[in-house]
Amino acid sequence: MGRYIVRRLLQFIPTVLGTLFLLHYLTTVGIQLTGNPIRALFGDKRPAPETLAALTSRLHLDDPCLKQKGNPCLGLFRERLVDIGQLDFGTNFRFRPVFDWRGFFDRAHASIITDALPYTIKITIIAFTIEALVGVFIGMRAGMKPGKSLDYSVKISTVMVISVPVFVLGILIQQFITRDFGNFLRGQEWIPEVISRGVFGSAYKQEFPFASLIIPGIVLGMLSLATTARLTRTSVHENMRADYVRTAKAKGLTHKRVIGVHTLRNSLIPVATNLGLSIGGYMTGAIITETIFNVPGVGNQTARAIFQGEPAVLIGITTMLVLVYLVANLLVDLLYAVLDPRIRYE
């Protein structure tokens, strides 16, 4: 097992390199296709060519290969890798450093990622907790009595969540929950501010660093929550007929325990995969939810970088995400072995 982990960790290297290359290639092709992203900084006004050239060269976007469609710009990639190897992730178009690890400890070295990461970690934790707990719980309840009203109401409500695009959902929640209901709460004297302004605030607030992330976290977790719930339901439903469940019943265990321990544990294997995946999926979601709820996290920065076409930011953020994702995945794979002892890794 130890060797398995070491081997997986070693595999991180090609994966990270692969992802970096993929990303490098995508951003390069992006620039090759859409032209110099700096141009867009000036909006409808056409900048002086000299200014444009100066900015372009300062941001290393003046490499001629960026003008040749389809050229993978391997030279640039190599330079980039060397820089990254020295923990230099470059700057954004406004010359803010993308990543400086000292920024975690010292404001003087603040960087885009170190500023944004704490928010995203918090929101992810909230989303994950909600997804895992609520998703598994309602999935389990629905799976216990398939075809009953609870099953259908879970089904219908998850379908609503799934089929309505996230940004629509986020906007609706913002309108009806944080604005209308929130305003009602804020009208009540007796409700503590942390609830009325924090939890039910329309946007992230410094004063309530955790409370005001709860609703964005819920929105973030919602999409994969639906999947988790459905997956759990199916899985529980399938395992309900297993012989060992019958044994558990014969042991005189309560229905709750029969389902909650004996059935659930076996049902969690596909669910665990999904949970692991959703950590990666949160990033896509965070781009939207963080923007809607004004959380200054990684998603927000990614969105900005995507639309401004800032390769350095994208690569910096994604390198970090890839690592997070890979670790999460490795944990899921190891979790398999915990959940299902029959699986062995050698």
Partner 1 sequence: MTDVVLETRDLVKYFPLTRGILLKKKIGDVKAVDGINIQLARGETLGVVGESGCGKSTLAKLLVGLEKPTSGSIVVRGKDISKLSGEATRKARRNIQLVMQDPYTSLNPRMTVGDIVAEPFQIHPDVAPKGAIRGRVQELIDLVGLNPDHINRYPHQFSGGQRQRIGIARALALKPEIILCDEPVSALDVSIQAQVMNLLDELQRELGLSYIFIAHDLSVVRHIADRVAVMYLGKIVEIGSDIQIYEQPTHPYTQALLSAVPVPDPTLRGHRDQIVLQGDVPSPANPPSGCRFRTRCWKAQEICATQEPLLEIRQKSAHPSACHFAEVRDVIHATQ
Partner 2 sequence: MSDPVTTATSDNPAVIPVQAGPGVNPQGPTQERAASLWSDARRELIRNPIFLASVSFILIVSSMAILPSMWTSKNPRDCDIKFAKLSPSAEHWFGTNVLGCDYYSHAIYGARPSLSIALIATTGVTLIGVVLGMLAGFFGGWVDTLISRIIDMIYSLPFLLGALVILGVLRQSDLLHSDQWWPPVLVVAIVLIILGWVGVARIMRGSVLSAKNLDYVLAAKSLGASNSRLMFRHILPNAIAPVVVVATISLGGYIGAEATLTFLGAGLQPPAVSWGTMIAGNIDYFNEYKYLVLIPCGLLVPTVLSFILAGDALRDALDPKLR
Partner 3 sequence: AGCQTDSTPEAPAAGGTIRVGSSEAAGLLPGFDDSPSIVVLRTIYAGLVENDNNDGKVVNQIAQSITSDDNKTWTVKLKNNYKFHNGEAVNADSFINGWNYVAYGPNAQPNAPFFGSIVGWSDLQSEDPDGEEGPQKAPEPKAKTMSGLKKIDDFSFTVTLAEPFVGWPATVGYSGFFPWAKACLADTKGCNETPIGNGPYKIEGSWRHNVGVTVVRNPDWAGASKGKPDKIEFKIYDKIDTGYADFEAGELDIWDGVPPAKYKEAKGKYGERMFENPSNTFTYVGLPLYNDNFKEVKVRQALSLAIDRQAIIDAVFDGRFSAAQGVISPNFEGYRPGACANCKYDAAKAKALLAEAGGWKGGKIVLWANAGAGHDKWLQAVGDGWKRDLGIDYELKVDLQFPQYLATGDAKKFTGPFRLGWGPDYAFLETYITPLYSTTGSSNSSGYSNPELDKLIKDAAAAKSIADGIKFYQQAEDLVVRDIPVIPMWFGRTANVRSENVKDYVYNKIHGTVYTEITLKDPNAVK
Return the closest-CA partner of residue 16 out of 68, 85, 62, 69.
Answer: 85
Q: What is the rounded distance in angstroms from the CA atom of residue 305 to the CA atom of residue 40?
A: 12
Residue 9, interface with partner 1 (CB under 8 A)?
no
Mask: binding to partner 1, 242-281, rule CB under 8 A, as x and -?
Answer: -x--------------------------------------
Residue 321, interface with partner 2 (CB under 8 A)?
yes
* Number of residues forming the site for partner 3 (CB under 8 A): 59
Return the closest-CA partner of residue 299 out of 326, 277, 317, 311.
Answer: 317
Lookup result for tokens 């992802």: 19
Under 8 Å between Cβ of 313 and 305 = yes
Dihedral sign of CA atoms 218, 220, 221, 223 in order: positive
Residue 241, interface with partner 2 (CB under 8 A)?
yes
Q: What is the rounded distance in angstroms from the CA atom of residue 12 to the CA atom of residue 5?
A: 11
Question: 82 vs 171, which CB is nearer to partner 2?
Answer: 171
Residue 42, interface with partner 1 (CB under 8 A)?
no
The one of partner 1, partner 3, partner 2, none whose footprint includes residue 87, by CB under 5 to 8 A per kind, is none
The one of partner 1, partner 2, partner 3, none whose footprint includes residue 71, by CB under 5 to 8 A per kind, is none
Residue 309, interface with partner 3 (CB under 8 A)?
yes
The one of partner 1, partner 2, partner 3, none whose footprint includes residue 22, by CB under 5 to 8 A per kind, is partner 2
Question: 134 vs 194, which CB is nearer to partner 3?
Answer: 194
Residue 35, interface with partner 3 (CB under 8 A)?
yes
| Shortest distance (Å) from residue 172 CB to partner 3 | 12
| Shortest distance (Å) from residue 106 CB to partner 3 | 13
Residue 63, interface with partner 2 (CB under 8 A)?
no
Residue 234, interface with partner 2 (CB under 8 A)?
yes
CB under 8 A: which stretch of 74-82, 127-135, 144-152, 197-205 binds partner 3? 197-205
Eight-class DSSP state of 97: B
| Shortest distance (Å) from residue 335 CB to partner 1 | 10
Would you list the DSSP string of 98-165?
S--GGGGT-GGG--HHHHHHHHHHHHHHHHHHHIIIIIHHHHHHHHHSTTSHHHHHHHHHHHHHHHS-
Q: What is the rounded distance in angstroms from the CA atom of residue 23 to the CA atom of residue 323?
A: 14
- Report the b/e string of 261-279 with b at 16+ CB within 10 A: ebbbebbbeebbbbbbbbb
Q: Identity (one letter) of the amino acid at 66?
A: L
Task: Find the binding residues for partner 1 in span 188-247 (CB under 8 A).
Answer: 243
Alpha-helical runs (H) found in the chain:
2-34, 38-41, 49-58, 74-85, 112-130, 136-144, 149-163, 166-173, 182-187, 193, 214-239, 243-250, 255-257, 264-292, 298-308, 311-339
Residue 205, interface with partner 3 (CB under 8 A)?
yes
Q: Identity (one letter) of the amino acid at 91?
A: T
Residue 44, interface with partner 1 (CB under 8 A)?
no
Task: Find the binding residues for partner 1 in span 306-345 (CB under 8 A).
Answer: 334, 337-338, 341, 344-345
Structure tokens at 194: 């942390």
Residues that bind partner 1 (CB under 8 A): 1-2, 5, 243, 334, 337-338, 341, 344-346
Q: Which residues bind partner 2 (CB under 8 A)?
A: 11, 14-15, 18-19, 22-23, 26-27, 29-30, 33-34, 155-156, 158-160, 162-168, 171-172, 175, 223, 226-227, 230-231, 234-235, 238, 241, 269-270, 272-274, 277, 280-281, 283-284, 287-288, 302-303, 306, 314, 318, 321-322, 325-326, 329, 336, 340, 342-343
